[in-house]
Homo-oligomer: A and B are copies of this chain.
Amino acid sequence: MPHRGVSLQTEVRYYQQPQLENTVMICGLPGIGSVAWLAVNHLQKELHAELFAEVFSPMFSPKVWLGEDGVVGLMKGEFHFWKNKPGGPDLLLFTANEQPYSPEGQYELAEVTLDLANKFGARRVITMGGMATDRLSEEPKVYVGATGPDLVKELEAFGAVKLAGGAITGTNGLIFGLSKPKNIPAICLLAETPGYLSLDANAAKAALELSTRMLNISIDLSALEKQAKENADVVKKAKDLSHGFPRETKKGGDKELHYVS
């Protein structure tokens, strides 16, 4: 009496079925500088968005984590929603504690996420990310790519810089790109971030400011600002220390930052 199990598949668990209108999905998976992840987590907390679904998958790393209370948690993606005032867009927020480890897994998670976007009638998808540069900007530029030229122009009017060429890798890129054949208008916002920050709150703030201005949602950014200020102080201290031991600097003068290693 053999039993042949079907191969384990990606699974979305719903805890409620929110009624959303004029839905915009904002995605923030971990990536360079954790820009997108920080931005969407901040939104989630400030808006008191509600968890309504989770996605589990054998495409995530084979591990679990324990909280301070000794209670186990799984590698997973989370979907939160936020009901806006009538007329304004309702939000669908997507985050995860990691990106799938395999290429197929990244495609699969992007597909599952967009299926959910479709199910809740998303009229726009926003993905974010960091664009590594070798300088720490106080006011990081935000680059934009989109599923159509009009959308690029719309974002340029909000202060974004057109990203003319290049590749966007990983799940954030795939969610963005796979929106196109599904006819969901999508934009990808990439905030400048120096390569050496693992949590760049300043870049997250820049991407979030632009997104919320476009969505006409007002949000308190002070927590991100505080974290950004702390980051800047740490970097300044490291810079001062490295000046104590003079090294060759790259051309570019005062603005140039030494890599902290």
Contact = CB atoms under 8 A, between A and B. Distances in A.
Interface string A20-38: 0000000000000000000
Interface in A49-66: 56, 58-59, 61-66
Given A70-B144, A174-B64, A181 B7 contact: no
Nearest to A69: B149
B3 A163 contact: no
Nearest to A152: B70
Interface string A192-218: 000000000000000000000000000
Q: Is the interface of A mostly helix, strand, loop or mixed?
A: mixed
Contacts of A149: 69-71
Contacts of A107: 8, 58, 62
A143 B166 CA distance: 36
B8 A111 contact: yes
Given A9-B7, A74-B181, A169 B106 contact: no
A41 to B, nearest CB: 19
Nearest to A108: B8
Protomer copies: 4
Contacts of A4: 9-11
A176 B65 CA distance: 11
A237 interface: no
B71 A145 contact: yes
Interface in A80-118: 101-104, 106-108, 111-112, 115
Nearest to A171: B62
A124 interface: no
Interface string A224-256: 000000000000000000000000000000000
B3 A103 contact: no
A164 interface: yes
A260 interface: no
A157 interface: no
A18 interface: no
Given A63-B169, A170-B62, A181-B13, A145 B70 contact: yes
A92 to B, nearest CB: 16
A77 interface: no
Q: Identify which of A5, A63, A65, A166 gathers the most chain B CB atoms within 10 Å of its CB.
A: A5
Contacts of A62: 103, 106-107, 169-171, 173-174
27 contacts: A2-B14, A4-B11, A5-B115, A7-B7, A7-B9, A7-B108, A8-B104, A58-B107, A59-B104, A62-B103, A62-B171, A63-B167, A64-B167, A64-B173, A64-B174, A64-B177, A65-B165, A65-B168, A66-B145, A69-B162, A70-B144, A70-B152, A70-B163, A71-B146, A71-B147, A72-B168, A74-B180
